[in-house]
Structure 1
Amino acid sequence: MTSAAASPPSSPSSPSSPSSPERPRRRRPAWAGRNYTLLAVASFITTLGAHGALIASTFAVLEAGGDGGDVGLVAAARTLFLVVFLLVGGAVADRFPRHHVMVAANALNFLSQGAFALLVLHGEPRLWQMLALSALGGTGQAFFNPAAEGMLMASVSGEQASRAFALFRMGMSGAAVGGAALGGAMVAAIGPGWVLAFDAAAFAVAGGLRMFLDVGHIAPRVPGSGLLADMRDGWKEFTGRPWLWTIVAQFSVVVAVVGAAESVFGPLVARDELGGAGPWGIALGAFGVGTVLGGLLMMRWKPRRLLFAATLSVFSLALPSAALAIPVPLGVLIAVMFVSGVTIEIFGVSWITALHQEIPEDKLSRVSAYDWFGSVAMVPLATALAGPAESAFGRTPSLWGCAALVVLATSAVLFVPDVRNLRRRVTTDVVASGVSGDDAVKESDLTPR
């Protein structure tokens, strides 16, 4: 969909010419259609709030008298319920209109975060209450994530889809960095309760925006044989594509060990070798800046062999663990984290483009649910085992082990022929909304939804 505004007429008192040529109409990029724009704005708002809320919930637990173990329990409750309900959420999102599922999930997150904020602001929250509310938040995300990813992929088509995905991810990366910085400052200035309230309000605003999504272009859902049958159908779609399940299996390992290295070992190395939390925060910030610049790169670069380029970029994720194992000076660590941020966006944009290209629209959310499940299922286990691994083998060998697992899992995926050979399809879609065929081809061959 394009937007154009007629240029105002020339002033009749203009001394230059009785008639001035009409200015060219200003158009939005063709890939920034209505649904895409609504999804991007709503996701930016919730990402901004969520990354501030991560810091706020930690300090809320501590201010209520909890310790590090209690903080871990509250975080684990969210992740556990996210994992448990992801596959159900994917089946539901392909069974019912995705925007309805997204709005309902946002409403649940609004209620859970709002209740959390009220407890912190007006009382002394108990651990079981925070655990229950965190679990509700994870449940909402389990239904939201597959629906949102399916809706995003259904909102664009054509060769410029990867450009749209790159911009979307770049916006989310920027919101994550900004949300963490803003959240930390707000917790220090006004306390964690108000930051949690801001996050609840963000869910309410985003849910309101998503109510205006247009799903008229999506074929009506055909009732299946039941929820379990839909889940089995999604499983067949997932396991029937070797490139799909092997890369998800790869990332179940990669995300787990990278998460353990950065959430457990990283702060310890920073404390003992780099000067404390400040330098570690700078290194994490460099990763965030890298993701933003990686998104900019992927708006222009379109690798022909999507998955081959994506998989090669994953090798760099072994570098942070290796850098912490040595350990390298802070300047080198910052450079390593920056490079890792850039390359994870190469993978992310190429991956979602491959899913968009290869998976039928009516199965997008179920496949996305298996993808999410594989990515997060092993994170709690890896994080829990990091401490025992350090005790048993030492910190440095454990970090080298994390780096080795990333390299081994990524190398194994390259033996899959489809990973090496799957190519980006070239299409010639024409934008239809009020743009002539010639102009549409020159501007973009992405059909927005």
Structure 2
Amino acid sequence: MTDKATAPSVLRNTAFLRLWTGTTASGLAMWALPFVLGLAVLERSITAVELGVVLATRTVGFLVAVPVAGVLADRHSRRRVVFWSCLTGAVMTPVIALGMGRSLLLMAVAAAVVGAGQGGCRPAFQALVAEVVPEPQRQQANAATTLAIRVTTLVAPSLTALAALVTDAKVLLVVTAVLWLVAALVPPKGGDAPARTTGRTSFAADFLDGLHEARRHPWLLAGLGALTSMVALGYSATAVLLPVVSRDRYGTEAVLAAATTAYTIGALAGAALMARWRPRTPGWTALAGMACYGLVPLALLLPVHPFVLIAAYVVGGIGMELFNVPWFTAVQREVEPGKLARVSSLDFLLSFGLAPVGLAFMAPAVDEFGSGVVLGACAVVCFAAPAAAALVPSSKGFTRSS
């Protein structure tokens, strides 16, 4: 049996709607950039090598900025950190357009700064939810935010392709800059601000203080370890091998497109479910949802019908939102408010930061051991890591008292 939400709809909260709009705009800008640059390659404005360099420097900027932003957002106004981070993206995105066909160095530096803006706003956005949304409404708020993110990933490529029919990549980069400007200006001021750090200690000391706060919550460390393992290995293996399986086993790229779309649709369904559902054991439910992603590498490993593979992606998408929404809600509830941005930055740093490492490792691993061994091992990790995390007593409810 489960309990349904009894709190008023978070959609009546004007401050949250402004925050949701800003978060959505920043997400759309973030996801649109790779597609816009891909169109620039098709237009021959940049080369494929230049595309790779620009995207790589953007990722480096993101990873460098995330821990710094976590400290800043706990030292200062989270709203101010969002403003300056998103304004940085708005100002520097057109510089990428300016460098097209002129200077790869200029493009790379601008992309790194844009990535820093992206990394800078993530922990602050996450902490702002706890400031503007009452605790009973936060699961709804996190579900609404993840719905927006999933819709963005679904429509951003299509919108970019349609816009490319009437304009070029440089103009689309300016449009992306406008989205960053919306993200900078629209979010509300925070509510009752938590006690801030004094700012008299070093960044390293403040970040280590955030690590100490994370260690106070065994469920958080266990869940973060499971999430990092699943993203670095499970996501990476399926991202690398889905195109290969689609081509070699099924002889069509349609399976690739259908599977990736199915995952997003499943995630949308999972987020919609979590907007209303309150499981009695949220931690175990979330970890079981994460384990569902293990069906994806398993389906890629076995000679199943393409519909079975697509169904596995749907279930994997549902499962990941069964994890994400309770996870973010628990972090906002359990972590000391004045250290929330730093703990959130640790979350983003590990889950996003190790993903490129996993991707870089996958191709050599497939060459050395074969795709079957790699997929089998990653499926085991996707099932075993959440199961191991569930053995931590406080993981049952994602709370120290569970």
Counterpart of 2:21? Answer: 41
Say which is worse superposed, 268-277 or 134-143, in terms of deviation: 268-277
TM-score, normalized by length of structure 2? 0.90
What is the SS of the residue equivalent to 2:12? coil
1:221 pairs with 2:202: no
Say which is worse superposed, 99-108 or 167-176, in terms of deviation: 167-176
1:149 pairs with 2:126: yes
1:401 pairs with 2:377: yes
**Kept after mapping to 2: 8 A contact 1:186/1:192:** no
Counterpart of 2:64? Answer: 84
**Kept after mapping to 2: 8 A contact 1:306/1:423:** no
Report Cα offsets for 1:60-99 as digits up to 9, x if no partner: 35634533x5544332222222222321110011101011
**Kept after mapping to 2: 8 A contact 1:76/1:380:** no
Displacement after TM superposition at 1:422 (Å): 4.1
Displacement after TM superposition at 1:394 (Å): 1.4
Cα distance in 2 for residues equivalent to 1:242 and 1:424: 7
Displacement after TM superposition at 1:327 (Å): 4.1
User: Between Structure 1 and Structure 2, which shows a larger proportion of helix residues?
Assistant: 2
Which of structures 1 and 2 has the bigger CA Rg?
Answer: 1
Counterpart of 1:32? Answer: 12
Cα distance in 2 for residues equivalent to 1:162 and 1:424: 18
Cα distance in 2 for residues equivalent to 1:319 and 1:301: 23
What is the SS of the residue equivalent to 1:190? coil
CA gap of 1:166–1:394, structure 2 versus 1, over 3 A, is same
CA gap of 1:107–1:300, structure 2 versus 1, over 3 A, is same
Say which is worse superposed, 347-356 or 255-264, in terms of deviation: 255-264
RMSD: 2.2
| AA at the equivalent of 1:235 | L
What is the SS of the residue equivalent to 2:249? helix
CA gap of 1:178–1:357, structure 2 versus 1, over 3 A, is same
**Kept after mapping to 1: 8 A contact 2:86/2:117:** yes
CA gap of 1:182–1:364, structure 2 versus 1, over 3 A, is same
Q: How does 1:3-18 map to 2 (within 5 A)?
A: none
Q: How does 1:217-256 map to 2 (within 5 A)?
A: 217-219=192-194, 221=196, 223-226=198-201, 227-256=203-232
Say which is worse superposed, 88-97 or 57-66, in terms of deviation: 57-66
| AA at the equivalent of 1:299 | A
The equivalent position to 1:166 in structure 2, one of 143, 154, 168, is 143
Displacement after TM superposition at 1:196 (Å): 2.0
Counterpart of 2:240? Answer: 264
CA gap of 1:264–1:71, structure 2 versus 1, over 3 A, is farther
Cα distance in 2 for residues equivalent to 1:107 and 1:201: 10
CA gap of 1:274–1:64, structure 2 versus 1, over 3 A, is farther
Cα distance in 1 for residues equivalent to 2:267 and 2:229: 21
1:376 pairs with 2:356: no
Displacement after TM superposition at 1:273 (Å): 2.6
Cα distance in 2 for residues equivalent to 1:188 and 1:255: 35
CA gap of 1:395–1:192, structure 2 versus 1, over 3 A, is farther
Structure 1 gaps of 5+ residues are 1-27, 426-449
Displacement after TM superposition at 1:365 (Å): 0.3
Counterpart of 2:3? Answer: none
Cα distance in 2 for residues equivalent to 1:30 and 1:377: 31
CA gap of 1:422–1:279, structure 2 versus 1, over 3 A, is closer
**Kept after mapping to 2: 8 A contact 1:319/1:403:** yes
Report Cα offsets for 1:154-205 as digits up to 9, x if no partner: 2212323212221221122112211122123334553332322221110012
| AA at the equivalent of 1:223 | T
Counterpart of 1:17? Answer: none
CA gap of 1:125–1:267, structure 2 versus 1, over 3 A, is farther
Counterpart of 2:257? Answer: 281
TM-score, normalized by length of structure 1? 0.81
Displacement after TM superposition at 1:400 (Å): 1.7
| AA at the equivalent of 1:158 | E
Counterpart of 1:331? Answer: 307
CA gap of 1:246–1:54, structure 2 versus 1, over 3 A, is same
Counterpart of 1:9? Answer: none
Aligned length: 392
Displacement after TM superposition at 1:411 (Å): 2.0
